[in-house]
Amino acid sequence: IQPDTIALSAVKRAEAGDRLIVRLYNPTDEAVEAHVQTVLPVLHAWEVNLNEEMIRTLPILEGTSTKLLVTGKEVKTVSLEVERVSHHIPK
């Protein structure tokens, strides 16, 4: 998670579907562009609400990250569909 001013408040499996939920918090008063990067390739990224309902599609950057604007004192939730680990393990 970048920049360092963004706090990671949760990482968990989505309630429905095979996705990763990442919750961010901006404790500052200033809006910040937050970047969420994973080790595995990101197939799809969405901003979702606290009930994990889609708000909008997020851009995928360099195949492994996404970004979104987090205003001051705001909590944002990102839903990521990433490639499964098993796809990267040689047989």
pTM confidence score: 0.90
Cα 12-5-54 angle, rounded to 5 deg = 40
Give the CA distances from residue 82 to residues 10, 26, 49, 53, in Å, rounded to whole numbers and listed in that order. Answer: 17, 24, 19, 18
pLDDT in tens, the chain (91 residues): 999 999 999 999 999 989 999 999 999 999 999 999 999 999 999 999 999 999 999 999 999 999 999 999 999 999 999 998 655 555 5
